[in-house]
Amino acid sequence: MNEKLKDIIDNGKTALGIELGSTRIKSVLIDGAGAVLASGGHTWENKLENGIWTYSLGDVWAGLQESYRKLAGYVKAETGDDLTAVGSIGISGMMHGYLAFDENDAQIAQFRTWRNTITGEAARILSDAFHFNVPQRWSVAHLYQAILNLEPGVPDIRFLTTLAGYAHWKLTGEKVLGIGDASGMFPVDCNTKNYDGAMMGRFGEMAQAFPWRLGGILPEIRVAGQDAGTLTEEGALLIDPSGKLRPGVPMCPPEGDMQTGMAATNSITPRTGNISAGTSINGVIVLEKMLKGVYPEIDTVTTPDGNPVALIHGNNCTSEIDEWAGLIIEASKVLGAEVTLGQALDAIFEAALSGDPDCGGLVYYNYLSGETLVHLEEGRPLLVRKPDASFNFANFARAQLYSAIALLRYGMDILRENEHVELDSMLGHGGYFKAKGVGQKMMAAALGAPVSVMETSGEGGAWGIALLALYMRYKAEGESLVDFLNASVFAHQAETVADPCESDMKGFEAFMKQYIQGLPVVRAALDCIK
């Protein structure tokens, strides 16, 4: 029996974090210092239905329950006791999207995720009206596009939220949202820590024909450390249908995966940043001040405690690498070998290290779905090379890894050249960094700056929201989120740092030049291959 684990859980100073990610639902239980005690996961996938990238809400709960069941099963096996109580709980999820409900709490229209690129007209109109970049992914863009499309359910909307806000609502009865996640629904004012009043007024003028007002249907904003309700009896059964988990657990504000990534990498203070690289890629830079310009390529959101953040978002990152790993597995079977997904992915990442710094002239575009940064409504993955290019597996693998981060570099150039944004540190987390040292090396070449990875980065957003739940419950009087994380969690965290080397930087520059020049080829593929 694991007496140490039993004592920690019995003591009660724990936090449970649950993240609804794009490909995985994960649950993590941590102690008062942030150490992981147990975890569980469930794999799921979005579906393209009627031209909409979506998940069913039934799959949300089936996956969440499976994830928690595995975590609780580990605790039972290690301690002999059922997991019946935790100190606090936090819910995280994919930001943005469209989850609307009527006065009877019935869902209006299918859930539209961040991956959809169907709100271009609305995003342009709102950006012009607000003098503020409103990306297609944002909830208000989805809402206004539904208005423009004359969708019949719009007048019936009484609550509009994100995936994390939806799950938190069902678990607590509270229609609230962390400020970071809320800042991806509608622009927020970092001074008032609320939705921007002037922009809210402009939207009201644009939607005055409806029986609701936007401020009345959006979640109330909460800042990190504030109370966001407690787990109800119904909510406890939604997490643990066996009935063993007791209600009454305090819950922190639900947050977006971007904000939990900030917490997981301790990237909360100005001049720090982090890169979340998995199914999608997000480059997050905490700003010293708001941006002066308006850039379609750059989002402005906030940290969990409400500081301004510049976000560079790409819809596509590692999914195309996974597709090729699947092809390697299939080819291996044809040749009589058995290869696992992990082995196939390791082969791609390890081979990339021996590829030419410029990928031997290979250029790859990893667009499985649309990409607003380069104005593509749909995806068309594409490999382009000259006949005399050095076409081998190592260069192909390196081109895959470069392609996954090329758009992040594109956005960083805008910030450096136009806003003179400076960074003291950049940390990476997500699947792109799992192969030790490889993703770091490629990212350092792309950014021309050191890239760090912490030992805990593999736990991702579930660990990050658990930290926010821990902070909400156990912070000292007046203790800031930054001070809490530095003192209680990251004081002894080990990290590895990869510095960029000159040849890799020059190689990425050459790849990037061809990548940008070849973008019209991808547009042609989209126009011609229907």
Instruction: Give tens-digit pLDDT for 373-405.
Output: 888 889 999 999 999 999 999 999 999 999 999
Query: Domain map of the chain by residue range?
Result: 3-265, 319-420+500-528
Tokens matching residue 236: 């406890």
Mean pLDDT, consecutive 10-residue stretches, the chain (530 aa), reads 89 95 95 95 94 96 98 97 97 97 97 93 97 95 98 97 98 98 97 97 97 98 98 98 98 95 90 88 90 90 96 92 96 95 96 97 95 88 96 98 95 91 83 91 92 72 96 96 94 85 96 96 93
Percent of the chain with pLDDT over 90: 82
C-alpha span between 277 and 408 (Å, rounded): 10
Strand (E) positions, 245-395?
255-256, 272-277, 281-286, 299-302, 308-314, 363-365, 369-371, 376-378, 382-384
- Over residues 417-476, the pLDDT tens digits come to 999 998 877 888 888 998 889 999 999 999 988 898 887 555 678 999 999 999 999 999
Contacts of residue 323, Cβ cutoff 8 Å, sequence gap at least 6: 368, 381
Q: What pLDDT score does 515 carry?
A: 97
C-alpha span between 279 and 19 (Å, rounded): 15
Cα separations (Å) of 478 from 311, 472, 499? 29, 12, 37
Q: What pLDDT score does 297 carry?
A: 85
CATH fold for the domain made of 3-265: Nucleotidyltransferase; domain 5 (3.30.420)
- The CA-based dihedral angle spanning residues 138, 141, 147, 150, taken in that order and rounded to the nearest 10 degrees: -90
Burial (CB < 10 A; 0-12, 13-18, 19+), residue 185, is buried
Q: Say if CB 158 and CB 212 are below 8 A apart.
A: yes
> Quick one: angle between helices 341-352 and 438-447, nearest 10?
40
Contacts of residue 392, Cβ cutoff 8 Å, sequence gap at least 6: 355, 360
| Backbone dihedral angles phi then psi of residue 195, each to the nearest 5 degrees | -60, 145
Q: What pLDDT score does 456 carry?
A: 59
